[in-house]
């Protein structure tokens, strides 16, 4: 059986709360059956509003949302077959773990023996077998979040929506829960739509990520493509650490362009969003793509002065003053020789033009 590539579909969806300002603008987004898609973006970018429209707690101002080819805008939330996991768990405090998990099944008039089987299955999935009689107040934050995930899965929903579900957990627990949710998704293949403002979380968990800004999807790509090949300056800045240079295109061919920087220096870049001489551009370069003591064949080689050195265990983070950019970051693996990495020293840095992307500075 082939999977529906448009299992969840936003078709020309707008959302306005006041009739004037659109918080979501002309959204067209397809999510395949069984996919894990994360909506990522800063506060106010429209990602949570999209999730709430899919859940049925908000209605689109224009356009339509489809689930398995059926329009759902007029279907109430409890009839959409969608599971929800919130940041604050939203467990019933006066009910045991078993009663919390049985609740969505009782509402659906499922027989008692089948409820028992489904609750057992989902507890084992989240590694909480034996916790049936506990009250939510007797559980740790991580355990409560697992119960919340189990409750969203127990009635075999068509889609599971997760709104910043790990936001209240501490760093270590948060990271282990990321892998846990990812593994649950891989084992049962349910379609997941996840909302977060944490880019590391999005990169870790998702098949594809939709980066939101100003009510629009700026880029929808796999994690590696999003990181390695951002299509505009917003995505380049928002995902991961990034070195940037502002300047003007002075020469452009198919695969390379020469950019004159505001400092007067010239660099060679990959012309992603520039076409002609005289265009303003922002050149994006990931810190790990630049190396010290570059080979002769590299088409960008420049001297920089070391301003700061910070040891990070597996790598050393070096801040340079390079080509007029006082915030140029290098990440050097700690297995490398680091003889000349001292504040005040001058070092030679290089990178390939294909790794530095000339983008539109306004986007």
Q: What is the pLDDT of residues 119-155, one digit of tens each?
A: 999 999 998 999 999 999 999 888 998 999 999 999 9
Q: Are strands 325-333 and 315-322 parallel, antiparallel or unpaired?
A: antiparallel
Report d(CA 209, CA 197) in Å as an integer.
11
- Domain around 205: 8-233
Q: What percent of the chain has pLDDT over 90?
A: 71
Q: Specify if 188 maps to a domain.
A: yes
Judgement on whether residues 30 and 167 belong to the same structural domain of the protein: yes
Judgement on whether residues 123 and 184 belong to the same structural domain of the protein: yes
Report d(CA 313, CA 304) in Å as an integer.
24
Judgement on whether residues 175 and 251 belong to the same structural domain of the protein: no
Show which of 233, 250, 265 is a domain's final residue. Answer: 233
Q: Hey, how many other C-beta atoms are within 10 angstroms of the C-beta on 96?
A: 16
Q: Specify if 3 maps to a domain.
A: no
Predicted TM-score of the model (pTM): 0.88
With contact defined as beta carbons under 8 Å apart, do 153 and 95 qualify? no
Q: Specify if 2 maps to a domain.
A: no
Domain of residue 90, CATH code? 3.40.50.300
Q: Helices 141-153 and 97-107 sit at what angle, rounded to 10 degrees?
A: 20
Show which of 193, 208, 233 is a domain's final residue. Answer: 233
Better-scored residue on pLDDT, 362 or 283? 283
Judgement on whether residues 135 and 211 belong to the same structural domain of the protein: yes
Say how many domains are in the chain: 2
Q: Say whether pLDDT at 339 is over 90.
A: no
Domain of residue 281, CATH code? 2.40.50.140
Judgement on whether residues 183 and 136 belong to the same structural domain of the protein: yes
Q: Hey, how many other C-beta atoms are within 10 angstroms of the C-beta on 82?
A: 22
Q: CA triplet 145, 150, 154: central angle to 5 degrees?
A: 155
Judgement on whether residues 177 and 96 belong to the same structural domain of the protein: yes
Show which of 214, 233, 252 is a domain's final residue. Answer: 233
Q: Specify if 251 maps to a domain.
A: yes
Q: Say whether pLDDT at 23 is over 90.
A: yes
3-class DSSP state of 164? coil
Judgement on whether residues 136 and 15 belong to the same structural domain of the protein: yes
Q: Measuring CA to CA, which residue among 357, 307, 314, 361 is closest to residue 329?
A: 307
Judgement on whether residues 332 and 258 belong to the same structural domain of the protein: yes
The pLDDT of residue 141 is 86
Give me the sign of the Cα torsion angle 80, 82, 88, 93.
positive
The pLDDT of residue 289 is 92
Judgement on whether residues 176 and 258 belong to the same structural domain of the protein: no
Q: Specify if 17 maps to a domain.
A: yes
């Amino acid at each position: 059986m082939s999977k529906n590539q448009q299992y969840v579909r936003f078709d020309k969806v707008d959302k306005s709360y006041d009739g004037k300002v659109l918080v979501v603008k002309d959204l067209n987004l397809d999510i395949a059956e069984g996919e894990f898609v994360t909506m990522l973006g800063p506060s106010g970018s429209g990602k949570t509003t999209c999730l709430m429209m899919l859940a049925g707690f908000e209605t689109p101002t224009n356009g339509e949302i489809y689930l398995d080819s059926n329009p759902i805008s007029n279907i109430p939330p409890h009839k959409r077959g969608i599971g929800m996991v919130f940041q604050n768990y939203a467990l019933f405090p006066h009910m045991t773990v078993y009663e919390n998990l049985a609740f969505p099944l009782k509402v659906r008039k499922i027989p008692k023996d089948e409820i028992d089987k489904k609750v057992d299955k989902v507890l084992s999935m989240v590694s909480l077998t034996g916790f049936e009689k506990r009250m939510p107040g007797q559980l740790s934050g991580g355990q409560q979040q697992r119960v919340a995930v189990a409750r969203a899965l127990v009635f075999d929903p068509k889609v599971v929506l997760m709104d910043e579900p790990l936001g209240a957990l501490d760093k270590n627990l948060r990271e282990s829960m990321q892998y846990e949710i990812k593994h649950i998704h891989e084992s049962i293949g349910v379609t997941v739509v996840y909302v977060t403002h944490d880019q590391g979380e999005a990169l870790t968990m998702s098949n594809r990520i939709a980066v939101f800004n100003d009510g629009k999807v700026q880029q929808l790509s796999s994690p590696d493509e999003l990181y390695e090949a951002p299509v505009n300056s917003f995505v380049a800045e928002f995902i991961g650490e990034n070195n940037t240079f502002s300047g003007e295109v002075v020469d452009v061919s198919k695969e390379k362009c020469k950019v004159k920087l505001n400092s007067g220096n010239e660099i060679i870049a990959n012309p992603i969003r520039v076409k002609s001489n005289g265009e303003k551009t922002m050149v994006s370069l990931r810190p790990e793509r630049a190396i010290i003591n570059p080979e002769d064949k590299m088409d960008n080689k420049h001297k920089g002065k070391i301003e700061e050195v910070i040891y990070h265990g597996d790598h050393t983070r070096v801040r340079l003053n390079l080509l007029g950019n006082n915030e140029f970051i290098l990440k050097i693996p700690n297995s490398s020789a680091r003889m000349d990495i001292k504040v005040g020293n001058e070092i030679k840095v290089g990178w390939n033009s294909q790794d530095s992307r000339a983008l539109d500075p306004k986007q």
